[in-house]
Amino acid sequence: MSDEVLSVKNVYVSYGDFLVLKDISLEVKEGEIVLILGANGAGKTTLLKTIAGLLRPIKGEIRFLGKRIDGLHPYEIVKMGIGYVPAERDLFPLMSVMENLEMGAYIARARKQKEERLRFVFELFPVLKERKDQLASTLSGGEQQMLAIARALMTSPKLLMLDEPSFGLAPKLLPKLFKTIKQINLEGTAVLIVEQNVRQTLSIADRVYVLENGSIILEGPSDRIRNDPLVRKAYLGI
């Protein structure tokens, strides 16, 4: 139990009367990369938003490092150590790349490690260093994605949640992206990732949950999931 970073237990989330997530339970252990698979509208983004505090579950509990976080505000959850990169990226368009990164280090804990974290993210994404004085809105899609990940890393998260990080990226950038995610993970950050790019994500993920119509229908280590007939048919097209 002690190596559990995140645990979601019997969580229900609704938009108005419409139940989007039903009885979701999942966990992320220390050092893991966990992948959530599912078709559009299965509830993947809703799940990440709920963990990040942007949505509130109507039932169930969410614990992070043993403490309950459901019901907390997003900014409190960031302080506890969850970094979230939403699919919309939610950057600050009229601020420079550097200012975006500095704001990632807004919370007290992260501010102390700012210089060290900056060096780390510039090592991961050298292009951000080149563009540090440019406004975020002038970056290309791929660069904006890197900035969004880098900004979340500036918060010194113990768990990083990524929503479709490959979306809108040129295919030739993808191997580098997944290598970087693996590298972040090896530096000691657990990763919870939602991805359409199943094949490449499976190659770095430790465990997988498959979400369908708001419920988890399958879970297991990625080797087993990769060979599951349902996954092969629905997500790998084999």
Per CB under 8 A, residues contacting other proteins are 52-54, 73-75, 78-79, 83-84, 86, 88-95, 99, 102-104, 106-107, 110-111, 137, 151-152, 155
DSSP string of 22-55? EEEEEEEETT-EEEEEE-TTSSHHHHHHHHHTSS
CB atoms within 10 A of CB 168: 13
Question: Shortest gap between Cβ of 41 and other proteins (angstroms)?
Answer: 21
Q: Smaller CB distance to other proteins: residue 25 or 137?
A: 137
Q: Smaller CB distance to other proteins: residue 111 or 232?
A: 111
Q: Which residue has the tokens 């295919």?
A: 171
Cα 146 from Cα 163, distance rounded (Å)? 13
Question: Shortest gap between Cβ of 94 and other proteins (angstroms)?
Answer: 6
Q: Smaller CB distance to other proteins: residue 43 or 83?
A: 83
Locate all alpha helices (DSSP H) within the chain, ordered by sequence. 44-52, 74-80, 97-104, 108-112, 114-124, 126-130, 141-154, 174-186, 198-204, 222-226, 229-234
Contact call for residues 33 and 205 (beta carbons, < 8 A): yes
Give kind and range of the element (H or E) at residue 17.
Answer: none
Question: Shortest gap between Cβ of 104 and other proteins (angstroms)?
Answer: 6
Backbone conformation region of residue 73, classed left if phi is above 0, alpha if psi is from -120 to 50, else beta: beta
Question: Shortest gap between Cβ of 84 and other proteins (angstroms)?
Answer: 5
Q: Smaller CB distance to other proteins: residue 52 or 210?
A: 52
Q: Smaller CB distance to other proteins: residue 88 or 130?
A: 88
Question: Shortest gap between Cβ of 73 and other proteins (angstroms)?
Answer: 7
Distances in Å between the Cα of 96 and the Cα atoms of 101, 130, 139, 157 are 9, 12, 10, 22
Question: Shortest gap between Cβ of 92 and other proteins (angstroms)?
Answer: 4
Strands of 33-38's sheet in order across = 82-85, 159-163, 190-194, 33-38, 207-212, 215-221
Question: Shortest gap between Cβ of 79 and other proteins (angstroms)?
Answer: 5
Cα 102 from Cα 184, distance rounded (Å)? 19
Q: Smaller CB distance to other proteins: residue 90 or 223?
A: 90
